């Protein structure tokens, strides 16, 4: 039975609503408003996990996002569990099931704890030094290292929760709901600006809202009461949106920010169902006010990591906000006044404060005086040198500091305790400021990095303690004054505000507190999550690492899920002290987004499952689905790949489809091809410049194949363009190239050739394209458009006709990508499915066979037609493709022309497109396979690779296209395709395998 350390005093927790939860299988109770951490502490549970490297027992150390130790696994289903959740941030809900991480078999008895005893053998850089030799053993080491790496267990099933995204625009975004954030939000809203205030907690007010000390007054009212009234007044501003439980993750340039809102993490399991768990806000703000506050620093002394050692300000929050005692015999260790506020709060709550150890010589500030008047015992100019207790601190030892603070003097005094509060001063949270591109400056007086006002990106400001203002009067007055200028306010509702607060008069900072033992015999932890100690940092310096970035990576200080929020400043301080450098000159490590970890779900939002990628469908898609097509992704299009019948596999289906297309008729949905309508008096000249061949003399009603190059002379896209009128063309592009071709052409028109009278309009989706090919295609078409004269004289190859199918206008092109007599029907998409069905009905007697992209590839390969992007890769010229015929040598210019005459592009040993036949006609080559001449010559010279490869049922043999060095000259040459288990002999051939005389085009 655990103790109940709850006190019945506070306004913040709903002590009427009891919540049950489980921790490590034990059923416990807390209250609505608790975090997991406060509920565990209320149950007197401090030991929550084990450290990463040494598996030392670790407890709750903070009350916020900076928590390094209390990270837990949520959920009892290993397939859906959520790792690395900070117990200090997750709100308690009915049914919460949490367990400790990085321990086995339990957090109380962890086999890995043996590492702690081996720690002298595991210094910084242990892995780098140890696993270097013998090199051949690496794979064995790797198995064990990988096995022990990482914190927590990743779920094995896909995340069932729902996440989404939301864009938002505002005049002012205020980040942080502490006192400076509240003032900022009110001033902004008061001015009528659209304002968003975000705060990661479930409540507003920061630490001031539970600061009940009489020493802090605003306008003669206790600061907490004044602030509560201000928060209440925010409700009066309809232009102010307040988002609680929303944590700013990233601050990008030009005031683009990402924030994660937790919507259901605090609800019971039943209440969560069907609701969005987290929402990622994508905010564009005209101005940003950072009021992210500061976090308390720990103190660095030997064994400062035991469960029960907690930041002093967190102890105060647990008692004042959650009504939870973190112990029953508490001592404090500090270098500043804020621990005295904690002591007073504890005293007033009836908790015994045994002793306050203060490294300063004295302090006569108001708050210290109040503590002394309450009878609290203070050990001035002293330091804690060690602590005892394995799973919970039991005692600590104190020694007197020397005058210079470098050593300790006298004897050790031992004090019993069950909780030790530590306070090493305050660190402004400048992460967001630096993420946005702001630069920091170092303030020597109190050893803080603060935003440099001269190096702050425009339209943002830092206010409050994140700007290095720690006293209440400084925070309030400076925030108001700075915002008057930032928001262009002539006056404000806060003018004349009066603040009373204690003044901290004495300061002393020692980054690494001295001990009577040599550092090698102590364990002063710097980075609690990664088990990095002060001696690790010193070792790194001795081994030559000088840059803070290098020390970070060598010692792992500042890494992990907390990103060194507690450790970075001390690491810098110790480096500065050891090397005799000013901290300001050392700089900081880079603060990268996210500020606190983001779930993958929040990043991805609804782009999962069917929304993972876009799906473009043709107008005939539903027919393909009904007819059991297998689909292939081509760009974002879903294209029928093949139409299996009676359990056929792809090979069988493709063989059947391609044979049918050659023997009788095949039908293909070619709607995905890009289509661009080109109009204007200079349309012909435009095409002359875009394509390599000539267009001016193309007759109206005729089609022509064109090849488009990049400026470097390499093939970019291809397609057939049809002249519809004197100044009117329709261009087809490849499926994948459509958008880029349009952009490129529009770019040329607007920037290079503005003198041309040409207009481009995409009509890819306007028209569906149905291609019918094969010797019976003419007969089928004749049934669909009975009035159209399909004779070769009237409708020759490479021409088009305007006609009607039923009541709908259409264009029929007689063009072929298969080498067969073919027609392409272009019809408005909303009528295309009906036309397709008509074609199928008309073609029934001719075994009209629908085919997909795989058969299309095979048929065109038999004819040696290239597919841009498959047989080309941006490094081939038309000449390399043996398509010199398409270059208009008399043309004045076209894109890429000049590059075709560079010394490199006219080299004869460039890779060139060739055909390949295998020695064994049944052997089908793998696309991408390399081609070599001499297998025994080392290193083997790679001559080229296979670009397309199929088994042709029409030729009854395997065929392939390839690019080979000097390929044009190598016809008849035998080469080898070395595969994993065999070498395949091939012969270089012409690229055209089928119907070289093109007789079938007019068959």
Judged by the rule CB under 8 A, the positions of this chain that interact with another protein are: 162, 164-169, 194, 276, 282, 284, 606, 610-611, 614-619, 637, 677, 679-681, 725, 727-728, 757, 759-767, 805-809, 828-835, 838
Q: Burial code of 421-439, b = ≥16 C-beta within 10 A, e = fewer?
A: bbbbbbbbbbbbbbbbebe
Residues in the chain: 1003
Secondary structure of residue 464 in the 3-state scheme: helix
The closest alpha carbon to 832, from 677, 623, 614, belongs to 623
* Cβ closest to another protein, residue 456 vs residue 762: 762
> How far apart are CB 274 and another protein at their closest, in Å?
9
Nearer to another protein, 248 or 283 (CB): 283
Residue placing its CB nearer to another protein in the complex, 682 or 933 = 682
* C-beta of 722 vs 882, nearer to another protein: 722
The phi and psi torsions of 899 (rounded to 5 degrees) equal -70, -20
Q: Pick between residue 809 and residue 998 the one whose CB is nearest to another protein.
A: 809
Adjacent-strand bridge partners of 14: 32
Query: Which letter does DSSP use for residue 750 in this model?
Result: I
At its nearest, how many Å lie between another protein and the CB of residue 681? Answer: 5
Nearest to 853 by CA among 617, 629, 646: 629
CB of 722 to another protein, least distance (A): 15
Q: Is the Cβ of residue 132 or residue 625 nearer to another protein in the bound state?
A: 625
Q: Closest separation between CB of residue 431 and another protein, Å?
A: 25
Q: Write down the least CB distance from residue 754 to another protein, Å.
A: 10
DSSP category for residue 884:
G
Q: With respect to another protein, which residue has the nearer C-beta, 754 or 939? A: 754
Both structure tokens of 155? 């779920």
CA 111 to CA 103: how far, in whole Å? 7
Dihedrals phi, psi of 999, to nearest 5 degrees: -70, -30
Helix/strand/coil for 36: helix
Closer residue to another protein, CB minimum distance, 454 or 807: 807
Residue 588 vs residues 89, 249, 450, 571: alpha-carbon distances, Å: 26, 20, 11, 10
Residue 69 phi/psi, 5-degree rounding, is: -105, -50
By the 8 A CB rule, do 289 and 173 touch?
A: yes
Query: Distances in Å between the alpha carbon of 589 and those of 673, 742, 796?
Result: 51, 45, 72
Give the shortest CB-195-to-another protein separation in angstroms: 13
Cα separations (Å) of 941 from 702, 881, 967? Answer: 46, 22, 15
Report the alpha-carbon distance of residue 409 to residue 382 in Å, rounded. 9
Phi and psi angles of residue 432, each rounded to the nearest 5 degrees, phi first? -65, -40
Nearer to another protein, 271 or 503 (CB): 271
**Count of CB atoms within 10 A of residue 526's CB?**
30
Q: How far is the CB of 433 from another protein (least distance, A)?
A: 24
Q: Which is nearer to another protein, 473 or 727 (CB)?
A: 727
Closer residue to another protein in complex, CB, 388/762:
762
Strand, coil or helix: what is 654? helix
**Can you tell me which residue has the tokens 């880079």?**
590
Q: Please, what is the minimum distance in Å from the beta carbon of residue 617 to another protein?
A: 6
H-helix segments, 273-365: 312-320, 338-348
403 versus 610: smaller Cβ distance to another protein: 610
User: Tokens 């006298």 correspond to what residue?
Assistant: 410
Provide the minimum distance between the beta carbon of 189 and another protein in the complex, in angstroms, as a whole number.
Answer: 16
Helix (H, G, I), strand (E, B) or coil at 849: strand
Q: What is the DSSP letter of 745?
A: H
Q: How far is the CB of 812 from another protein (least distance, A)?
A: 15
Cα gap 475→497, rounded to integer Å? 12
Residue with the two structure tokens 């095409």: 687
CB of 672 to another protein, least distance (A): 8
State in angstroms the smallest separation of the CB of 761 from another protein: 4
Least distance to another protein from the beta carbon of 829, Å?
A: 4
Closer of 131 and 759 to another protein (Cβ): 759
Cα distances from 228 to residues 62, 186, 218, 221, 341, in angstroms, run 24, 13, 12, 11, 20
Q: Which is nearer to another protein, 165 or 553 (CB)?
A: 165
The encoded tokens of residue 821 equal 């007599």
Closest CA to 294 of 149, 84, 86, 446: 446
**What is the largest distance, in Å, between two alpha-carbon atoms of the chain?**
115
Nearer to another protein, 164 or 712 (CB): 164
| CB nearer another protein, residue 205 or residue 605 | 605
Nearer to another protein, 159 or 834 (CB): 834
Instruction: Compute the distance between CA of residue 857 and CA of residue 949 in angstroms, rounded to an integer.
Output: 9
The residue (of 109 and 167) whose beta carbon lies closer to another protein is 167
Least Cβ distance, residue 280 to another protein (angstroms): 11
The residue behind tokens 């397709």 is 836
How many Å apart are CA 430 and CA 449, to the nearest integer? 8
Closest distance of CB 679 from another protein, Å: 4
In the bound complex, what is the minimum distance in angstroms from residue 592's beta carbon to another protein? 23
Q: Least distance from C-beta 459 to another protein, angstroms? A: 16
- How many other CB atoms sit within 10 Å of the CB of residue 919? 12
191 half-sphere exposure, CB direction, 13 A CA radius: 21
Question: Is omega for the bond preceding 614 within 30 degrees of 0, making it cis?
Answer: no
Distance CA 381, CA 371 (A): 17
Residues 946, 925 contacting (CB under 8 angstroms)? yes
Q: Which helix (H) or strand (E) is 163 found in, with range? A: strand 162-175
Rg (CA), the chain: 38
For the CB of residue 635, give the shortest distance to another protein in the complex, in Å. Answer: 10
């Amino acid at each position: 039975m655990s103790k109940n350390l709850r006190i019945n005093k506070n306004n913040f927790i709903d002590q009427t609503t009891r919540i049950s939860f489980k921790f490590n299988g034990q059923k416990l109770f807390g209250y609505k408003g608790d975090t997991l951490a406060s509920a565990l502490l209320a149950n007197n549970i401090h030991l929550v996990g084990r450290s990463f490297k040494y598996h030392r027992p670790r407890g709750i150390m903070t009350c916020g996002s900076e928590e390094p130790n209390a990270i837990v696994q949520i959920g009892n289903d290993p397939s859906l569990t959520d790792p690395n959740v900070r117990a200090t941030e997750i709100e308690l809900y009915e049914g919460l099931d949490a367990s400790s991480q990085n321990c086995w078999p339990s957090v109380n008895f962890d086999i890995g704890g043996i590492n702690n005893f081996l720690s002298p053998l595991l210094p910084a850089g242990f892995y780098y030094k140890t696993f270097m030799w013998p090199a051949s053993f690496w794979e064995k080491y790797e198995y064990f290292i990988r096995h022990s790496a990482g914190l927590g267990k990743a779920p094995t099933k896909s995340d069932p929760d729902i996440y989404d995204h939301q864009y938002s625009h505002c005049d002012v975004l205020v980040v942080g709901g502490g006192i400076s954030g509240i003032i900022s939000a009110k001033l902004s809203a008061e001015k009528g600006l659209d304002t968003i205030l975000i705060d990661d907690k479930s409540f507003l007010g920061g630490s001031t809202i539970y600061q009940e000390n009489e020493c802090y007054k605003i306008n003669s009212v206790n600061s907490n009461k004044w602030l509560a009234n201000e928060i209440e007044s925010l409700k009066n501003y309809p232009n102010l949106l307040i988002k609680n439980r929303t944590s700013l993750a990233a601050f990008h340039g030009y005031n683009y920010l990402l924030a994660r809102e937790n919507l259901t993490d605090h609800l019971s399991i039943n209440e969560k169902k069907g609701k969005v768990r987290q929402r990622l806000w994508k905010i564009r703000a005209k101005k940003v006010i950072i009021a992210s506050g500061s976090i308390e620093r720990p103190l660095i002394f030997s064994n400062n990591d035991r469960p029960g050692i907690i930041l002093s300000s967190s102890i105060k929050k647990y008692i004042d906000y959650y009504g939870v005692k973190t112990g029953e015999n508490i001592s404090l260790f500090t270098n500043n006044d804020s621990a005295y506020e904690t002591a007073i709060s504890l005293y007033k709550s009836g908790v015994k404060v045994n002793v306050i150890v203060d490294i300063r010589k004295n302090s006569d500030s108001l708050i210290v005086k109040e503590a002394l008047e309450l009878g609290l015992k203070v050990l001035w100019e002293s330091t804690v040198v060690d602590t005892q207790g394995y799973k919970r601190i039991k005692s600590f030892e104190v020694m007197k500091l020397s005058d210079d603070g470098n050593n300790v003097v006298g004897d050790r005094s031992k004090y019993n305790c069950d909780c030790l509060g530590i306070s090493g001063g305050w660190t402004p949270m400048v992460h967001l400021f630096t993420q946005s591109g702001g630069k920091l400056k170092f303030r020597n007086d109190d050893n803080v990095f603060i935003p440099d006002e001269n190096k702050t990106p425009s339209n943002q400001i830092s206010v409050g303690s994140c700007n290095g203002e720690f006293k209440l009067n400084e925070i309030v007055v400076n925030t108001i004054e700075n915002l008057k200028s930032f928001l262009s306010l002539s006056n404000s509702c806060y003018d004349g505000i009066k603040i009373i607060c204690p003044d901290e008069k004495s300061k002393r900072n020692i980054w690494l507190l001295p001990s009577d033992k040599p550092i090698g015999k102590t364990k002063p932890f710097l980075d609690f999550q990664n088990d990095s100690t002060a001696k690790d940092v010193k070792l790194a310096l001795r081994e030559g690492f000088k840059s803070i970035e290098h020390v970070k990576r060598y010692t792992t200080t500042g890494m992990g899920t907390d990103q060194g929020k507690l450790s970075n400043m001390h690491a810098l301080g110790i480096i500065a002290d050891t090397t005799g450098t000013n901290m300001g000159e050392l700089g900081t490590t880079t603060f990268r987004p996210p500020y606190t970890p983001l779930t993958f779900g929040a990043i991805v939002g609804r782009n999962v499952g069917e929304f993972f990628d876009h799906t473009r469908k043709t107008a005939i898609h539903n027919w393909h689905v009904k007819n059991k097509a297998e689909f292939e992704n081509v760009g974002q299009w879903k294209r029928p790949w093949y139409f299996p019948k009676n359990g056929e596999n792809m090979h069988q289906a493709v063989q059947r489809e391609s044979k049918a297309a050659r023997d009788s008729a095949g039908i293909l949905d070619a709607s995905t091809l890009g289509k661009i309508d080109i109009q204007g008096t200079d349309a012909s000249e435009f095409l002359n410049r875009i394509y390599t061949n000539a267009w001016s003399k193309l007759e109206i009603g005729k089609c022509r194949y064109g090849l488009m190059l990049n400026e470097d002379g390499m093939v970019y896209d291809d397609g057939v363009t049809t002249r519809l009128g004197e100044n009117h063309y329709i261009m087809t592009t490849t499926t994948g190239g459509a958008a880029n071709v349009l952009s490129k052409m529009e770019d040329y028109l607007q920037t290079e050739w503005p003198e041309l009278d040409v207009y481009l309009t995409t009509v890819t989706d306007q028209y569906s394209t149905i291609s019918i090919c094969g010797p019976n295609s003419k007969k089928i078409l004749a049934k669909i458009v009975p009035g159209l004269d399909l004779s070769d004289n009237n409708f020759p190859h490479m021409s088009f006709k305007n006609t009607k199918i039923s009541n709908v206008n259409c264009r029929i092109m007689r063009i072929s990508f298969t080498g067969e007599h073919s027609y392409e029907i272009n019809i408005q998409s909303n009528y295309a499915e009906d036309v397709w069905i008509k074609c199928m009905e008309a073609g029934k007697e001719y075994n009209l066979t629908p085919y997909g992209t795989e058969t299309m590839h095979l048929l065109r390969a038999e004819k040696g037609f290239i597919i841009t992007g498959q047989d080309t890769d941006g490094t081939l010229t038309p000449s390399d493709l043996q398509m010199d015929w398409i270059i208009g040598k008399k043309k004045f210019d076209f894109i890429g022309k000049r590059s075709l005459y560079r010394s490199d592009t006219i080299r004869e040993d460039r890779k060139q497109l060739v055909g390949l036949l295998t020695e064994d006609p049944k052997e089908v080559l793998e696309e991408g396979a390399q081609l070599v001449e001499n297998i025994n010559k080392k290193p083997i010279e790679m001559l080229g690779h296979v670009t397309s490869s199929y088994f042709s049922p029409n030729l009854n043999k395997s065929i392939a296209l390839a690019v080979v060095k000097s390929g044009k000259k190598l016809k008849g040459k035998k080469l080898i395709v070395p595969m994993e288990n065999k070498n395949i002999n091939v012969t270089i051939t012409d690229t055209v395998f089928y119907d070289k005389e093109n007789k079938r085009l007019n068959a």
